[in-house]
Structure 1
Amino acid sequence: MKGGDVVCRSEERKKRNQRKLGNRLAPHLCVILLILVSMLVGCGSSTSLTSSVSPEAKTESLGTQVDRDNQQNVQEMAKNEIQTETSNSDTNRTADQEPVTHPAAAQDRKLVYKAEITMEVKEYDAVKLSINDLIHRTGGYITDYSDTQNDHEHGGVYTVRVPAEKFQATITMLEQLDVERFERSYTTQDVTEEYVDLESRLKAKRLVEARLLGYMEKATKAEDLLSFSDTLATTQEEIERIVGRQKYLNNLVSMSTIQLRVYESVENIAAKKLEEAFGERIGRTLNSSLEALVGLGKGILLTAVALLPFVIVFSILVFPIVYIVRRRRRSRGASKQKE
């Protein structure tokens, strides 16, 4: 009996424990079920909302997203291309270190001619006029001139620009002037390589400028617009520098430079002074004689003018008397002949 009571008690205890566990798990299961139901309801509403959106709205949203993506891609491509073009144009600056094989450079060389000439002449003043006339006839001009005169020499220094095609002819004509000593030296500078490099850099910068202008038209953000504007300003400044350098080289190539020094030695100056002194004496003597002769003529003319009134009055008074005397003589001579 005792063994049977123990078994019954143990079974009752198990049942009580199971009931207690069920009572404890029931609230948790209810909460879990509620969460699952709310999740299912939310998914259903979201699907219904998404299904209720019109296809046009979907298309617009997709188009907007695509446009944004395209703009971002364009801006990124623009920045990459600008960096690439800038780096390429900068690398072209090192072209002077490598041989340039350009077909136009081999045919049309860009050469700058310069000459230094020293001339000793007999008469600087006369040669100076001849030099000015020669420069004018060749189509050149004087950019700088200085005149010097001291106890040793009298002369001037010229900086002359003449057309390149008349460079040699001008030097030949200078040598044909009345000179006692003629010295000259030439220098030739080939700027073809630099000029070709400038042309390639200018093309690259022009391309960057055009692309920047296109990107600025498409830019939508203020930051990108400011960035493109700064890069464009820098590019345009570089273009102006390249164009200015090209103009300078073209001017050097088209107009050659001649540094000319002309002087008259002290011996010629002294001889000229002696000749001038003797000539001045002759001139002064001749001038004195001419002045005396002119003075004599003036005196005679003034005397004649002063005596003219007296001559007129004397003629008026004397002429009747002379006429009467001659008539009487004639009448007397006629009466004597009759007798």
Structure 2
Amino acid sequence: MGNIKVLLSWGLIILLLISCGNDSAPEMGYDAPEAAEMMAEQPYMSKAAIGREGEEAADAESSTIIPEQSGQQRMLIQRASLQGEIGEYDPWFSQLQELVRRQKGFIVNSVTRQTYEDARSGNITIRVPQDGFEAMLGALKISFSQIESEQISGDDVTEEFYDLSARLDNQRKAEQRLQEILRAAKNVKEILEVERELTRVRENIERMEGRKRYLQDQVSLSTIEVSWHEPYPIMSGTRGRGFWGTIARGFEQGLRGFADVLSGLIAFLIAGFPVYAFIIAAGWGLVRLYRRARGPKKAVKASATKDNK
């Protein structure tokens, strides 16, 4: 009996193991074909959509802003504007050209205007290397007789520059991957899709390279805008900043306003002279005709009065 119980126990254990194996077998049989199907679909997707996937991956990588590291150089665009009164223009401009040459800069444009008061004025745009910006600005201040306005501004483009560099690197990597896919393309449809993506990536690269060159140019060369004018003839020597200087400027502005009104009136009279001459001549002619018409009537009345007497 003991042996029979042992055999029955082992038989039950074997049956339980077989039933467990049968229950788990369908699951394995279901997963295996599904995995095979997924593996079969993967090569097709990589051929048809790898260009888009590669580009999306590049865009995702490029959307990440690269934090500034301690080894990165700060990119700062410096600008300044200066307005004021100078002495005589010709020697001042010669001095300005010498200052620009010393700082290894150049003059972008120069505009000179002649006013009715024989006092010239104008604008000058100067580009100088970044390391000579402060020296050039200080020398310009000294060359002015009086500074009327001054403004200095800076634009920090460090984050934009290095983020743009990272985006550009990612786009170039995407271009290399697309070129490899293009060489491995099997049919015309795949070739056209890859070439379309490759064209778009190259356009992005060209645009980013242009923006990067622009930032490098703006950072390496600072811009100074100069607005100048010669002393005005009227009371130019007494125009200070104190009480009497304010009175002198007010008196000068009053004289300028009177001169403007007087010159406008003279111009109006000169421009309308033919019309005025015609009106005067017509009026004088009408008066003469009227007098001639009244002459005979007066004579008739006078003779009639004498006859009545």
| TM-score bracket for the superposition, by shorter chain length | 0.5 to 0.7
Distance 1:83 1:182 in 2: 54
- The residue aligned with 2:133 is 167
Cα 1:178/1:158, change in 2 over 3 Å: closer
Cα displacement (A) at 1:210: 0.3
- The residue aligned with 1:91 is 63
Cα 1:214/1:122, change in 2 over 3 Å: same
Cα displacement (A) at 1:196: 1.5
Task: Please identify which structure carries the higher helix content.
Answer: 1
Distance 1:216 1:114 in 2: 47
Instruction: Quote the sequence identity (%).
Output: 26
Per-residue displacement from partner, 1:22-77 (whole Å, max 9, x unpaired)? Answer: xxxxxxxxxxxxxxxxxxxxxxxxxxxxxxxxxxxxxxxxxxxxxx9886354156
Per-residue displacement from partner, 1:225-284 (whole Å, max 9, x unpaired)? Answer: 01000100110000000000000000000000000112102227989xxxxxxxxxxxxx
Q: Is contact 2:103-2:128 (8 Å) kept?
A: yes
The residue type equivalent to 1:267 in the other structure is P
**Unaligned runs of at least 5 residues, structure 2:** 1-39, 238-309
Distance 1:149 1:88 in 2: 58
Distance 1:144 1:80 in 2: 47
- The residue aligned with 2:97 is 132
The residue type equivalent to 1:248 in the other structure is Y
Residues 182-197 of structure 1 aligned to structure 2 (within 5 Å): 183-197=149-163
Q: Is contact 2:67-2:159 (8 Å) kept?
A: no
- Stretch moving more, 174-183 or 211-220: 174-183
- The residue aligned with 2:115 is 150
- The answer to whether structure 1 residue 221 and structure 2 residue 202 are counterparts is no
Cα 1:113/1:71, change in 2 over 3 Å: same
Cα displacement (A) at 1:107: 4.2
**Unaligned runs of at least 5 residues, structure 1:** 1-67, 272-339
Distance 2:51 2:86 in 1: 68
Distance 2:144 2:67 in 1: 47
Q: Is contact 1:122-1:264 (8 Å) kept?
A: yes
Distance 1:109 1:259 in 2: 24
Q: Is contact 1:122-1:180 (8 Å) kept?
A: no
- The residue aligned with 2:206 is 240
The residue type equivalent to 2:233 in the other structure is E
Structure 1 counterpart SS, 2:169: helix
- The residue aligned with 1:72 is 44
- The residue aligned with 1:42 is none
- The residue aligned with 1:81 is 53
Q: Is contact 1:111-1:191 (8 Å) kept?
A: yes
Distance 1:224 1:242 in 2: 27
The residue type equivalent to 2:102 in the other structure is R
The residue type equivalent to 2:54 in the other structure is I
Structure 2 counterpart SS, 1:101: coil
Under a length normalisation based on structure 2, what TM-score does the superposition of the two structures give? 0.58
The residue type equivalent to 1:167 in the other structure is F
Q: Is contact 2:51-2:178 (8 Å) kept?
A: no
Cα 1:227/1:178, change in 2 over 3 Å: closer
Q: Is contact 2:62-2:166 (8 Å) kept?
A: no
- The residue aligned with 1:263 is 229
Q: Is contact 2:130-2:219 (8 Å) kept?
A: yes
Q: Is contact 1:159-1:257 (8 Å) kept?
A: yes
The residue type equivalent to 1:131 in the other structure is L
Cα 1:176/1:222, change in 2 over 3 Å: same
- The answer to whether structure 1 residue 123 and structure 2 residue 88 are counterparts is yes
Q: Is contact 1:219-1:225 (8 Å) kept?
A: yes
Cα displacement (A) at 1:125: 1.7
RMSD between superposed Cα atoms in Å: 2.6
Q: Segments of 4+ in structure 1 off by > 4 A?
A: 68-71, 268-271
- The answer to whether structure 1 residue 114 and structure 2 residue 86 are counterparts is no
The residue type equivalent to 1:72 in the other structure is Y
